[in-house]
């Protein structure tokens, strides 16, 4: 096993990318992901990573470089956040449709305006239908391990899809945590050399993302949808292999004190740590409350979620994004749709919290559960709004 060190999570993620021996890093700075690409530039400059470091002029160009590099057979990495993802979005959809196994670190940040550099999930919800595999991380060790897992999954010949690692900005990116590092030998054992299925080469001409007439576009979209859904067994296998190697077990959904719970909180990302403490407070008061942490956002583990949520009387979804003018927030909308036809459908409440990086404490979790139950919420409420 590797040694455990206290390290900033962004720096640890960059170290993991370096251990994966990437070929191309496309980099454009934006808070709060900049430390990742800055450290990768240091690794390249110091000769510790033999890679092409491409400092592009925009995030749109960053993903364009990634597409070209991945199509040529290079192991490719980039990182962005918020407005950067918005500018990049056009090419984000193209990358997945062309089945390019790119890995991207997304430092989740609120979208402007007003200008905010702090965390919520409005950026990732903006591209929830982009066709990438997407995971959410709760702590620094998950972030670090997810880099290796992402390449292991993305480059599997039966998958060949890009992977987005969602990391809450500042809540995780800029904190120092004890992280058990991998050795180069562990990486070699876990991550095979990248062998792309199709590559651009002048001796064997192929086309990526060619023009599609209406007669074939629907079929392509269906094939893309099936590919994302079919990646689930590979994702699980890669987590199982990681557990054998590191002793750390990951799964699409993680449960915390759900036995006998009448009320289940559903959340994603670093807020799960505060939610865990909130559950402890409520359990100490004799309240039957548990926590469901969703790690795998795409492909969403629908059957497993339905089985878990059907055991509760009430569900409280903690949303970290708002969908102005809609009947519900984006995360909650998916949970409500998922449970609509279930015979034992629980009451599903929605609290939007932590927008623009506002702190959410364990006591806030308790207050949200109590408020949602008292108000019998049918739509949603933004928690903690003053005035």
Please list the residue range(s) of the chain that carry CATH number 3.40.50.920.
253-382
Which pLDDT belongs to residue 95? 98
Bridge partners (DSSP) of residue 55 are: 27
Q: In the block, which residue shows the tokens 């962004």?
A: 10
Which pLDDT belongs to residue 344? 87
- pLDDT tens figures, 347-374: 999 999 999 999 999 999 999 999 999 9
Which pLDDT belongs to residue 205? 87
User: Is it the case that residue 379 has pLDDT exceeding 80?
Assistant: yes
The H or E element spanning position 223 is helix 214-230
Q: Nearest-CA neighbor of 176 among 37, 34, 4, 21? A: 4
The residue-averaged pLDDT of 207-235 equals 95
Beta strands 314-319; 296-298: pairing state: unpaired
pLDDT band at 263 (very low <50, low <70, confident <90, very high): very high
Q: Nearest-CA neighbor of 100 among 49, 151, 41? A: 151
* Cβ-Cβ contacts under 8 Å for 309 (sequence gap 6 or more): 264, 266, 292, 315, 335, 338, 339, 342, 346
The alpha carbon dihedral of 214, 215, 217, 222 has a sign of positive
- The CATH number given to 253-382 is 3.40.50.920
- The CATH number given to 4-246 is 3.40.50.970
| CA distance to 77, 128, 164, 186, 266, per residue, from 24 (Å) | 6, 25, 17, 22, 37
Full-prediction pTM beyond 0.75? yes
- pLDDT tens figures, 290-309: 999 999 999 999 999 999 99
Which pLDDT belongs to residue 197? 87
| Terminal-to-terminal C-alpha distance of the chain | 53
User: Is it the case that residue 16 has pLDDT exceeding 90?
Assistant: yes
Angle at 233 between CA 229 and CA 234, to 5 degrees: 100
Identify the residue with better confidence: 195 or 387: 195
The residue-averaged pLDDT of 317-326 equals 97
**Integer Cα distance of 362 and 350 in angstroms:** 17
Please list the residue range(s) of the chain that carry CATH number 3.40.50.970.
4-246
- pLDDT tens figures, 96-131: 999 999 999 999 999 999 999 999 999 999 999 999
**Integer Cα distance of 368 and 278 in angstroms:** 10
User: Is it the case that residue 35 has pLDDT exceeding 80?
Assistant: yes
Helix axes 140-154, 9-19, angle to 10 degrees: 30
**Integer Cα distance of 261 and 279 in angstroms:** 10
User: Is it the case that residue 320 has pLDDT exceeding 90?
Assistant: yes
DSSP, residue by residue, 2-36: PPEEEEEHHHHHHHHHHHTT-SEEEE---TTTHHH
pLDDT band at 173 (very low <50, low <70, confident <90, very high): very high
């Amino acid at each position: 096993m590797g040694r455990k060190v206290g390290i900033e999570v962004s720096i640890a993620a960059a170290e993991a990318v370096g251990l994966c021996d990437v070929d191309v890093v496309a980099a454009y700075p934006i808070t709060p992901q900049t430390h990742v690409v800055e450290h990768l530039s240091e690794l390249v400059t110091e000769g510790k990573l033999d890679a092409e470091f491409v400092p592009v002029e925009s995030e749109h160009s960053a993903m364009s470089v990634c597409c070209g590099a991945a199509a040529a057979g290079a192991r490719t990495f980039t990182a962005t956040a918020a407005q950067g993802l918005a500018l990049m979005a056009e090419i984000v959809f193209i990358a997945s449709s062309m089945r390019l196994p790119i890995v991207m670190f997304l430092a989740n940040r609120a979208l402007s305006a007003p200008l905010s550099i702090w965390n919520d999930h409005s950026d990732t919800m903006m591209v929830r239908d982009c066709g990438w595999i997407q995971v959410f991380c709760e702590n620094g060790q998950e972030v670090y391990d997810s880099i290796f897992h992402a390449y292991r999954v993305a480059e599997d010949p039966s998958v060949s899809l890009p992977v987005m690692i969602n990391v809450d900005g500042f809540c995780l990116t800029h904190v120092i945590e004890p992280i058990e590092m991998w050795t180069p030998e562990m990486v070699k054992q876990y991550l095979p050399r990248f062998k792309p299925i199709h590559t651009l080469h002048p001796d064997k001409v192929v086309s990526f993302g060619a023009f599609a007439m209406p007669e074939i576009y629907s079929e392509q979209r269906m094939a893309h949808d099936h590919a994302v859904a079919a990646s689930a067994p590979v994702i699980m296998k890669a987590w199982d292999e990681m557990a054998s190697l590191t002793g750390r077990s990951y799964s699409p959904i993680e449960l915390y004190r759900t036995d006998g719970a009448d009320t289940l909180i559903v959340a994603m990302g670093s807020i799960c740590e505060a939610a865990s403490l909130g559950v402890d407070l409520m359990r100490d008061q004799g309240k039957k409350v548990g926590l469901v942490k969703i790690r795998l956002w795409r492909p969403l583990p629908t059957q497993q979620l339905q089985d878990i949520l059907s055991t509760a009387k009430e569900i409280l979804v903690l949303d970290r994004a708002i969908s102005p003018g809609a009947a519900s927030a984006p995360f909650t909308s998916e949970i409500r749709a998922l449970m609509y036809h279930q015979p034992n459908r629980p009451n599903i409440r929605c609290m939007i919290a932590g927008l623009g990086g506002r702190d959410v404490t364990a006591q806030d979790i308790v207050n949200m559960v109590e408020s949602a139950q008292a108000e019998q919420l049918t739509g949603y409420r933004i928690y903690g709004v003053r005035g």
